[in-house]
Amino acid sequence: MDIREKMRRDWDRRARVDPRYWVAATEEADEASYLESGARDVRALLDGLEGRVGADARVLDLGCGIGRMTARLVDHFAEVVGVDVSPAMIEEARAQHGETEGLRFQANSGADLSDFGDADFDLVFSYSVLPHLPPDVVRAYFFEVNRVLRSGGWFRYQFWVGPEPRGHADNDTLNIRVYDHAAFDALNREAGFRIEAVTDIDYTDPVLNLKPVWVNVQKVAEASAQAAELDRRAEEALSEGERELEYGLLLYLAVKHCERGEAEEGERVLEQAVQTDRTRPEAYVQWAALRLERGDAAGALVIFEALTEVLPDEPIAWLYRAKTAEAADRPEEARRALARFDGLQVSEPGLLAEAEDVRAALPAAPASRRRKTVRARKKPRKP
């Protein structure tokens, strides 16, 4: 699959689940913190541009998402255009903010700005986009940003620069990449930019132990090379690191919905988490718990049936299937699930005790059925 298509599919999928969350990923994952984040990031954007860009400027927001920052800029600049690789994000941006003469949103290819002419803009900015992109895409964009900026124009972007570079799989569209200083300098220089300022953003990533930065660069020359047509294949499936992070972020979002009693939303997100990684039990368990909470034991049972299909050797899957079958008044199915659980030779006392509780809650097996089972077992031994 073409790398552009991979980026579009990934971000469309995220946009369909919860565009607000995927563009801002705030701790509370709610509307208030989303709006707050927009106000804060726009303030930081404008503070860093003071005295450099006038109110008559034409501005491009690269990777605008749903216009979290873009729409707030209409009072500050003559014209603001947001582009994004994800048509789903763009659709949502238009739905939320509308479009006027001074504000436009449009989908782009994911690696070039071919809808725009040379020197069309005075300012290009990009927040929380470039660090997620494969480095060859970033490089292609830098050449393109140079092309669409007027001479002396500004490019202000959020980035990660540190002593220890951090890369990810070539098709990873989510994990943050950290550039070392040499690579960062070369990237800007080759694209015709002079680095004017690099300032810390007040947030330390707990895994990277690093702060992201706002970077101001100015177009001082034409790019040293033309943006080569990016012609690269990418694995269609999510890379391991990407799957891991996407899954973790979905679980986090689901927990936030549950804390706020938003069961329906929580279920939707957990269903997506299951699709993201079918082999991890956490999302199934949380999803089924939500169904049980609202008295839908049959619905929860369906989830555990799916889990046991994917993980037939996982005792917890059979135990929970037995529990929910019992709660759904399906004693035969509960017995069958307990038999599978027993067959896995579990030694963990807590699980064994839970299994005994389920067994004790089941009505006695009907006598005729018991006889039948005995006969069935004996049958193969007949000569």
- Binding positions for ligand SAM, rule: CB under 6 A: 7, 11, 23-24, 63-65, 68-69, 84-86, 89, 108, 110, 127-129, 132-133, 137
Residue nearest to ligand SAM as judged by C-beta position = 65
In angstroms, give the least distance from the CB of 5 to ligand SAM: 11
Q: Which is nearer to ligand SAM, 41 or 277 (CB)?
A: 41
- d(Cα 105, Cα 128) in Å, to the nearest integer? 18
Half-sphere exposure of 38 (CA within 13 A, CB side): 18
Integer Cα distance of 64 and 85 in angstroms: 9
Radius of gyration of the chain (CA): 27
CB atoms closer than 10 angstroms to residue 192: 22
Q: Can you read off the two tokens belonging to residue 360?
A: 């004790």
**CA nearest 337: which of 314, 356, 321?**
321
The nearest distance, CB 231 to ligand SAM, in angstroms, is 15
Instruction: Return the number of the residue (223 or 325) whose C-beta is nearest ligand SAM.
Output: 223
CB of 76 to ligand SAM, least distance (A): 16
Using the minimum distance from each CB to ligand SAM, give the nearer residue, 63 or 212: 63
Nearer to ligand SAM, 179 or 304 (CB): 179
Which is closer to ligand SAM, CB of 141 or CB of 193? Answer: 141
User: Which C-beta is closer to ligand SAM: that of 82 or that of 315?
Assistant: 82
Which two three-digit tokens encode residue 249? 């972020």
Q: How far is the CB of 128 from ligand SAM (least distance, A)?
A: 4
Backbone angles phi, psi at 128, to 5 degrees: 60, 40
C-alpha–C-alpha distance, residues 158 and 44, integer Å: 11
- Minimum gap (Å) between residue 109 Cβ and ligand SAM: 8
The answer to whether the beta carbons of residues 60 and 123 sit under 8 Å apart is: yes
Question: CB of residue 96 vs ligand SAM: minimum separation in angstroms?
Answer: 12
Nearest to 298 by CA among 260, 344, 330: 330
